[in-house]
């Protein structure tokens, strides 16, 4: 078996070398759904930004690739069709001059009519329709900008929200606060007639504003939230215009800071699209508007195979960190050294080495010393991205696989450690971009009906596992070189993180994931954190996790979980007639190789499955997505199907020679 593993490992490494970028980064597309391309079309229509014929063709190609047999469009490739995505897709098609009787448009419109019509689209869909005059603003949740005027000590201040939600609602509060509606055009007037075949009746839509399509409703708003919205609507009628103007000015100040502090790429394309609209609403000739439109291109992937996509995230630092760690565990064969050297040079250059000027005033956590998820252009650093990048660089230095440009000095290593420590919550777990700021009660007031667990930073099993492992690696690597006070804080953080992981273990022995599907993912990070923190392989918690993984190995030798488990935190296996997933098999193997190398029979079966699935060119076929966030938003990290099998095979070779 070892010779076959070595040959396969080398072929995978050769493929990774072939896709490595000139700057040393490795990154796959983070594939999501049609929501963002459709919103891009709406933004371009409103601001008057022309879409080239080639891009128009590619947007329509992406829609064709994602249209379902029932005419709808889904949250992700494996989900049923959702009304929200289908309405956006229909509007985008028509704005791109697709005839209403075109089969794709006609089937989408029929789906909309069968599922309650536009009246039942979720709130975020209503806002995009209202911007075009296709839905009344009075039927939209009152996302008021005045919240930005509250004292920062207030539990309702938006700074307490999870940063993605904070910035999305910053953009939404601006467009809602202006009640902007684009001038009507002939195509919009036709779309209105098509979406409302019985006539456009704003009063009727307002009366049914509390109804959300069953296809889309994941988490119903708390009843108290409805009462709060009612009170806000009443207050809006009494509000002095000067107060609203002051609130909008405050919101625009935050928007401009986000644009200018990120070179116009923003935290995500979701808030980037909303902020671009806000600039146009503020001033159609705003000098920052062309830069904002150009900043959206940062998130674009397009070709003639899958068309035009706007990804949910870029993953250069995340993917590169995993690839470097993977290859540092395996034999130095073929292109391994050059791939690792290039990856380390990229990671070294991507660390944030200056604090963001003005960040505190705009509710930004300290960024110095961290790494983000994307690349050096994206100054939003993350706890586990920093831990994984730091561990990758230390591993390459220890194996002597990095050159001088790919190594950090002591100050930069300790800055990374200090950055990670700032993301630890009081319960010992780690958040992602920030430590949790708001009270847990805010989770009950989620107004985004289509997503769950999106209001706050939590303590995530995966982030905690990464951070504990990264901190423990740095502690062992630096030893006495780490300043005593930092060493003491690091030791305390590792102990608290270990306790959090132990307390989060499920009754069956596994750990649920938040950012990946699901128990296989969470268990990999949790086990690696415990082992790095000094927990012995014979520990009962480790043995329970090993038994959990062994019990879930499938007949074909692999592992596979369904995204359905993310909806309510359960362990849901794939259907028996579906093949195991390469990515999840690699995750399980990494856990077993670290925690139970004596389980050779199960490990050999899993490795045999990886060898069976790989192509002759070292490329694994695309499979079901394994990433997720907010329970419903499943993501396909395209490079996962290469980097994690490479890592599992590398660890196998290191373990068994």
The structure tokens 């499920």 sit at 506
Secondary structure tally for the chain: helices H, strands E: 25, 9
CB atoms within 10 A of CB 541: 15
- The answer for residues whose C-beta is within 8 angstroms of residue 120's C-beta and 6 or more apart is 83, 208, 211, 212, 213, 216
Residue 67: CA count within 13 A, CB half-sphere: 21
Count of alpha carbons within 13 angstroms of residue 581, beta-carbon side:
26
Q: How far apart are CA 435 and CA 424, in angstroms?
A: 6
User: Which token pair is 277?
Assistant: 């609209």
Query: Are residues 81 and 74 in contact, defined by beta-carbon separation less than 8 angstroms?
Result: yes
What tokens does 347 get?
């990671």
DSSP per-residue string spanning 176-199: HHHT--PPP-HHHHHHHHHH-TT-
Q: What's the burial of 85, exposed, middle or buried (CB within 10 Å: 0-12/13-18/19+)?
A: buried
Q: For the beta carbon of residue 68, count every other beta carbon within 10 angstroms.
A: 16
Tokens of 166: 């904070």
Q: Strand pairing of 307-310 and 300-303?
A: antiparallel
Q: Is 21 exposed, middle or buried (0-12, 13-18, 19+ CB in 10 A)?
A: middle
Does residue 259 contact residue 291 with C-beta atoms inside 8 Å?
yes
Q: What are phi and psi of 377, to 5 degrees?
A: -85, -10
CA 607 – CA 629 distance, rounded (Å): 28
Q: What does the angle CA 355 – CA 257 – CA 268 come to, to the nearest 5 degrees? A: 90
For residues 70 and 61, what is the distance between their CA atoms, to the nearest angstrom? 18
Residues marked as catalytic: 384
């Amino acid at each position: 078996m070892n010779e076959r593993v070595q040959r396969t490992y080398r072929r995978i490494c050769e493929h990774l070398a072939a896709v490595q970028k000139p700057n040393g980064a490795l990154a796959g597309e983070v594939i999501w759904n049609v929501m963002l391309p459709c919103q891009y079309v709406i933004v371009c229509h409103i601001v008057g930004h022309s879409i080239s014929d080639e891009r128009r063709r590619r947007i329509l190609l992406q829609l064709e690739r994602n249209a379902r047999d029932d005419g709808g469009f889904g949250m992700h490739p494996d989900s049923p069709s959702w009304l929200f995505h289908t309405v956006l897709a229909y509007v985008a098609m028509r704005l791109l001059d697709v005839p209403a009787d075109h089969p794709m448009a006609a089937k989408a419109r029929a789906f909309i009519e069968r599922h309650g019509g536009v009246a039942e689209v979720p709130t975020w869909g209503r806002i995009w329709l209202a911007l075009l005059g296709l839905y009344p603003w009075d039927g939209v949740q009152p996302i008021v900008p005045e919240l930005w005027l509250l004292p920062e000590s207030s539990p309702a201040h938006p700074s307490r929200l999870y940063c993605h939600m904070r910035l999305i609602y910053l953009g939404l509060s601006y467009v809602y606060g202006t009640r902007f509606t684009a001038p009507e055009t002939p195509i919009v007037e036709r779309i209105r007639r098509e979406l409302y075949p019985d006539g456009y009746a704003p009063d009727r839509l307002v009366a049914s504003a509390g109804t959300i399509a069953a296809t889309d409703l994941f988490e119903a708003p708390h009843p108290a939230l409805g009462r709060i919205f009612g009170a806000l609507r009443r207050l809006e009628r009494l509000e002095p215009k000067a107060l609203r103007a002051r609130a909008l000015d405050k919101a625009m100040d935050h928007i401009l800071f986000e644009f200018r502090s990120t070179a116009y790429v923003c935290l995500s394309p979701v808030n980037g699209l909303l902020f671009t609209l806000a600039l146009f609403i503020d001033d159609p000739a705003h000098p920052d508007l062309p830069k904002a439109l150009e900043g959206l291109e940062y998130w674009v992937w397009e070709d003639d195979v899958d068309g035009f996509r706007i990804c949910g995230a870029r993953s250069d630092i995340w993917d590169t960190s995993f690839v470097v760690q993977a290859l540092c565990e395996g034999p130095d064969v073929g292109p391994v050294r050059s791939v690792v050297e290039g990856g380390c040079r990229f990671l070294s250059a991507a660390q944030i080495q200056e604090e963001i000027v003005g960040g505190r005033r705009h509710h930004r956590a300290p960024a110095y010393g961290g790494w983000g998820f994307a690349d050096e252009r994206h100054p939003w650093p993350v706890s586990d991205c920093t831990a994984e990048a730091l561990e990758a660089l230390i591993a390459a230095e220890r194996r002597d696989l990095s050159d001088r440009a790919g190594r950090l000095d002591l100050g930069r290593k300790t800055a990374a450690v200090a950055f990670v420590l700032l993301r630890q919550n009081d319960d010992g777990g780690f958040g992602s971009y920030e430590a949790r700021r708001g009270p847990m009660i805010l989770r009950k007031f989620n107004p985004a009906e289509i997503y769950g667990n999106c209001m706050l930073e939590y303590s995530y099993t995966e982030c905690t596992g990464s951070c504990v492992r990264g901190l423990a690696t740095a502690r062992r690597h630096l030893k006495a070189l780490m300043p005593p006070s930092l060493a003491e804080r690091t030791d305390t953080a590792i102990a608290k993180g270990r306790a959090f992981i132990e307390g989060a273990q499920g009754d069956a022995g596994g750990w649920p994931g938040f950012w990946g599907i699901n128990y296989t993912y969470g268990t990999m990070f949790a086990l690696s954190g415990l082992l790095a923190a000094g927990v012995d392989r014979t520990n009962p918690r480790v043995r329970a996790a090993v038994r959990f993984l062994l019990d879930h190995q499938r007949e074909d030798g692999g592992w596979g979980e369904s995204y359905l488990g993310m909806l309510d935190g359960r362990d849901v296996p794939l259907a028996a007639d579906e093949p195991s997933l390469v990515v999840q098999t690699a995750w399980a193997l990494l856990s077993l190789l670290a925690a139970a190398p004596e389980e050779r029979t199960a490990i050999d079966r899993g490795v045999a499955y990886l060898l069976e699935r790989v192509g002759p060119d070292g490329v694994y076929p695309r499979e079901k997505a394994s990433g997720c966030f907010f329970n419903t938003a499943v993501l396909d990290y395209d490079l996962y199907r290469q980097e994690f099998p490479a890592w599992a095979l590398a660890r196998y070779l290191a373990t068994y020679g």
